[in-house]
């Protein structure tokens, strides 16, 4: 652990401004050391943060924070910003329960201007902030920092199109590191490559304006006309970039690891009377060789050994099992296609991308497009499978309704990270997909507990369903499986004594916790049966009939209550004149803050001990322990 001679004394951006230029390299070195040390212990986003150290230092030296505003796109690259804004002493709590968030949080610091966690939102938010400032007479600057990966999301272009009409004090910094999580694909990254290799652009523009300004009478009017013009004449003179066409003045490309060059560029951008796009080229993972060589692996990583760069623990998870199963199916079926939104590695599709390259589609960070693109494939007889994290599936709600379900098209949604994910906090918990999909007609949802159930569900989703089919599975691998429990069925399973009068209903990984709860209760002389759902929409009617035979029923669900399976199940019981007691334990109407998965489930009483406590408390309340 370093002594952090300079970094430990930084309490605000004012302290960064006071540093001599000769000390900046040492400060950046200390920042990188602190980032590597902390993330190795807590997990987190390492390579994105290592890549923006110099850029962040330059921003804090050039702008007057918090009067000036910085909005970080996604926010997973804001660790250096946190270290320079008074959070060094608490940085060891990064991503821990009650600690510093891994993303910007307005409630955490006055220097965090906007809560972020999902991609492509920064320009829209920053433009809104800039407009609000203008309306109140505030002349301070607003800066959006967005990666080239995030720029593949359509929202970024919608914002650029709208913000190009702004007058001044609005700067978009394009952090170009050639990656999002997976390697960037598509037309926009190729376009940036052409811009990077043409550094003459800004020189030509400056020299043209300089020459025109010296021409008596006509020079300045011509220069002003060219700046305003959308004509071919302007394109011929200035060789416009895409960003100029949106109304932005383009500056770049700039070396994102040269602080003096960055400060000069930022200072120049502040003086331009139009919105500015500053193109900064950085290296993801810079300063830590394992992250430089494998930036995707270190984009978001758990605990790791600093010397070797190897993860502390690794186990086979649902993502890998899904990827392998889909590859096996695709070997026999040439109609199967796999789609990812810049998450090939995270969703287990790397193997598919190699062995079935022609049927693998990385659409960039564009979940809305991914769903509608899948619908296009399906309309011509293909079998598209879109693998996506639960938290990012939310962004495609309209497309699932309008383009998929309403059109009766058969697409498969492989929903990764379903349920609590832990340390990334509110923005990444996968607890809304069930309620979201439950509200849409023509959708089938599977939620298996074990790998064999995943294989069965995926096969059914592809070959049995003829509408939108979703297979959801959690982060990590299989949990506890009782020795006397066999393979999962495709609809539901019953585990325990059917005549005991007490029934726990659940699905997904919570079944493992329910089995442990059953054992805890048995030690206290209380016997329960478990109804494990695998297909949670539509639910097999015989499952409702089975539940009506019990006196007391508990439903445990790792999702929000509104629109939940528990609510639907309860309605079905009432329709069958169920006379017993029915209890629901879900997340409720709230967001789940950052903490480990085990801590979150314990807090929510959705782990084994929590379930047992809920059952005991309810039995005591209704006087039915027998």
Which residues are catalytic, by number? 284, 367, 395
Using CA atoms, how far apart are residues 54 and 573, in angstroms rounded to an integer? 60
Cα 526 to chain centroid, rounded? 42
Q: Where are the alpha helices (DSSP H) in 503-555?
A: 510-523, 541-547
Q: Which helix (H) or strand (E) holds 536?
A: strand 535-537
Instruction: Reduce the DSSP state of residue 252 to 3 states and report it.
Output: strand
Q: What is the CA radius of gyration of the chain?
A: 27
**Could you tell me the two tokens for 228?**
């305003």
Using CA atoms, how far apart are residues 30 and 19, in angstroms rounded to an integer? 14
Residue 439 CB coordination number (10 Å): 12
Pairing relationship of beta strands 142-147 and 69-72 according to DSSP bridges: parallel
Using CA atoms, how far apart are residues 133 and 127, in angstroms rounded to an integer? 10
Using CA atoms, how far apart are residues 389 and 395, in angstroms rounded to an integer? 11
Query: Residue 283 — φ and ψ, nearest 5°?
Result: -115, 120
Pairing relationship of beta strands 535-537 and 443-446 according to DSSP bridges: antiparallel
**Could you tell me the two tokens for 506?**
């659940």
**Could you tell me the two tokens for 540?**
């097999």
For tokens 């789940």, the residue is 592
Using CA atoms, how far apart are residues 254 and 57, in angstroms rounded to an integer? 15
Residues contacting residue 434 through CB under 8 Å, at least 6 positions apart: 418, 445, 447, 472, 536, 557, 559, 563, 564, 565
For tokens 């997990």, the residue is 43
Residues contacting residue 22 through CB under 8 Å, at least 6 positions apart: none
**Could you tell me the two tokens for 30?**
């200390």
Using CA atoms, how far apart are residues 279 and 253, in angstroms rounded to an integer? 5
CB 118 within 8 A of CB 427: yes
Using CA atoms, how far apart are residues 104 and 69, in angstroms rounded to an integer? 13
Written in H, E and C, the secondary structure of 100-166 is CCCCCCCCCCCCCCCCCCCCCCHHHHHHHHHHHHHHCCCCCCEEEEEECCHHHCHHHHHHHHHHCCC
Residues contacting residue 466 through CB under 8 Å, at least 6 positions apart: 410
Using CA atoms, how far apart are residues 196 and 21, in angstroms rounded to an integer? 27
The full length of the chain comes to 626
CB 262 within 8 A of CB 54: yes
Adjacent-strand bridge partners of 255: 281
CB 442 within 8 A of CB 405: yes
Query: Residue 213 — φ and ψ, nearest 5°?
Result: -65, -20
Nearest CA to 142 among 177, 166, 120? 166
Adjacent-strand bridge partners of 556: 585
């Amino acid at each position: 652990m370093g002594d952090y001679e300079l970094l430990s004394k930084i309490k605000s951006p004012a302290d960064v401004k006071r540093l001599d230029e000769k000390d900046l390299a040492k400060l950046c070195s200390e920042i990188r050391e602190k980032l590597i040390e902390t993330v190795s212990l807590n997990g987190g986003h390492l390579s994105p943060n290592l890549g923006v150290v110099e850029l962040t230092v330059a921003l804090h030296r050039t702008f007057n924070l918090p009067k000036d505003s910085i909005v970080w796109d996604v926010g997973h690259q804001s660790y250096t910003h946190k270290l320079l804004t008074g959070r060094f002493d608490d940085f060891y709590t990064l991503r821990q329960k009650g600690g510093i968030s891994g993303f910007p949080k307005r409630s955490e610091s006055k220097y965090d201007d906007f809560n972020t966690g999902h991609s492509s939102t920064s320009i829209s938010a920053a433009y809104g902030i800039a407009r609000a400032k203008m309306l109140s007479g505030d002349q301070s600057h607003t800066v959006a920092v967005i990666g080239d990966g995030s720029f593949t999301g359509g929202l970024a272009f919608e914002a650029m199109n709208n913000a190009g009409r702004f007058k001044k004090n609005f700067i978009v910094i394009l952090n170009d590191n050639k990656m999002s999580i997976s390697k960037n694909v598509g037309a926009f990254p190729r376009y940036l490559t052409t811009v990077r290799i043409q550094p003459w652009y800004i020189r030509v523009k400056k020299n043209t304006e300089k020459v025109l300004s010296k021409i008596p009478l006509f020079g300045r009017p011509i220069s002003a006309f060219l700046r305003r013009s959308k004509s071919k004449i302007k394109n011929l003179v200035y060789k416009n970039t895409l960003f100029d066409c949106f109304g932005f003045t383009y500056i770049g490309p700039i070396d994102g690891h040269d602080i003096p060059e960055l400060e000069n560029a930022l200072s120049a951008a502040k003086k331009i009377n139009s919105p500015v796009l500053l193109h900064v080229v950085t290296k993801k993972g810079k300063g830590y060789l394992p992250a430089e060589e494998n930036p995707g692996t270190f984009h978001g990583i758990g605990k790791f050994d600093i010397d070797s760069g190897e993860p502390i623990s690794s186990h086979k998870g649902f993502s890998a099992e899904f990827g392998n199963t889909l590859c096996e199916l695709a070997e026999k079926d040439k109609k199967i296609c796999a789609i990812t939104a810049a998450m090939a590695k995270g969703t287990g599709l790397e193997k598919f991308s190699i062995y079935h390259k022609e049927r693998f589609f990385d659409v960039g960070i564009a979940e809305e497009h991914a769903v509608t693109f899948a619908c296009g494939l399906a309309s011509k007889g293909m079998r598209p499978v879109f693998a996506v994290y639960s938290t990012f599936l939310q962004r495609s709600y309209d497309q699932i309704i309008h383009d998929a379900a309403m059109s009766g098209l058969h697409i498969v949604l492989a929903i990764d990270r379903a349920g609590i994910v832990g340390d990334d906090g509110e923005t990444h918990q996968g607890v809304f997909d069930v309620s979201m999909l439950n509200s849409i007609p023509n959708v089938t949802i599977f939620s298996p507990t074990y790998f064999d159930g995943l294989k069965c569900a995926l096969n059914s989703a592809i070959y049995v369903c003829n509408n939108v089919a979703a297979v959801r599975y959690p982060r990590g691998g299989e949990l506890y499986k009782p020795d006397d429990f066999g393979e999962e069925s495709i609809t539901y399973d019953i585990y325990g004594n059917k005549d005991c009068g007490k029934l726990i209903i659940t699905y997904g990984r919570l079944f493992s916790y329910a089995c442990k709860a059953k054992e805890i209760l048995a030690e206290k002389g209380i016997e329960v049966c478990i109804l494990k759902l695998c297909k949670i929409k539509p639910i097999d009617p015989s499952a409702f009939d089975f539940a009506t035979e019990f006196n007391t029923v508990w439903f445990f669900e790792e999702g929000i209550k509104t629109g939940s399976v528990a609510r639907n199940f309860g309605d079905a019981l009432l329709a069958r004149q169920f006379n017993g007691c029915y209890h629901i334990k879900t997340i409720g109407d709230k967001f789940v803050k950052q903490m480990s998965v085990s801590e979150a489930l314990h807090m929510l009483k959705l782990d084994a001990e929590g379930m047992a406590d809920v059952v005991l408390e309810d039995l005591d309340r209704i006087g039915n322990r027998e």
